[in-house]
Amino acid sequence: MDDRTELLFGKENLDKLQNLRVAIIGIGGVGGYVFESLVRLGIKNILIVDNDKISLSNLNRQIIATRDVIGEYKVDVAEKRALSINKNINVIKSNEKLISDFTIIDSFKADYIIDCCDTLITKKNLIKYVANSNMKIISSMGCGKRKDASLLEVTDISKTSYDPIARELRYFIRKEKLKNIMVLCSKEIPIKQKKKEISSCSYVPALGGLLIVNYLVNQVLKLSI
């Protein structure tokens, strides 16, 4: 399945990419597209962590969500989908809720952590955890309440604006004296809504996930972006 990809990157570069060990925390709207893209790139070892099950509300934006899998754990559905694409992939999965115990990531020996979880405390703990390691992290901020995917970018968190999650994390990062934290963030002001449920669409989180993978590939291969 790698013929076209190898033609683009060359064997040496593709081997470098495929030998990465990537942990994805949260495989919903953004994380699902990160996972899909990495699987199709031929990444050999991927850890996926998510304690949620597929629900009807996921159908509008999550690539792994179909009516046939409502009620199933997302990690189980994602693993099955990955193996249907690349039978040689090694998917390590966990439906545990991560907060501060990252033993599973330690055991996996990740090179990159892609944080697509919804929980602010987990995001903070992951950033602090990576700061004391050789791993790198890309953290996804909010993609809900946005309509313009062209305003998404991967950037240093110090350069973000309008995003309430990023605002909280900037304060935390300054307090912890951390730096060089890369995030996916939108420059779009979130729409105001009265309902508690966060509004969303199909294409914004999709592009967000692909931008994260684009950044990861360019960083690993030291290409200009």
User: In the chain, where are the structural domains located?
Assistant: 3-221
Q: What is the pTM (predicted TM-score) of this model?
A: 0.96
Q: 156 - beta bridge partners?
A: 182
Provide the pLDDT confidence category of residue 132 given band limits of 50, 70 and 90.
confident
Provide the pLDDT confidence category of residue 86 given band limits of 50, 70 and 90.
very high
Pairing assessment for the beta strands 152-156 and 21-25 based on DSSP bridges: unpaired
* pLDDT in the model for residue 129: 96
Mean pLDDT of the chain: 96
In CATH, which superfamily holds the domain spanning 3-221?
A: NAD(P)-binding Rossmann-like Domain (3.40.50.720)
Return d(Cα 78, Cα 26) in angstroms, integer: 11
Residue type, position 160, single letter = T
Return d(Cα 186, Cα 79) in angstroms, integer: 29
Per-residue tokens: 64? 């792994």
Contacts (Cβ under 8 Å, ≥6 apart) of 104: 47, 49, 92, 94, 96, 98
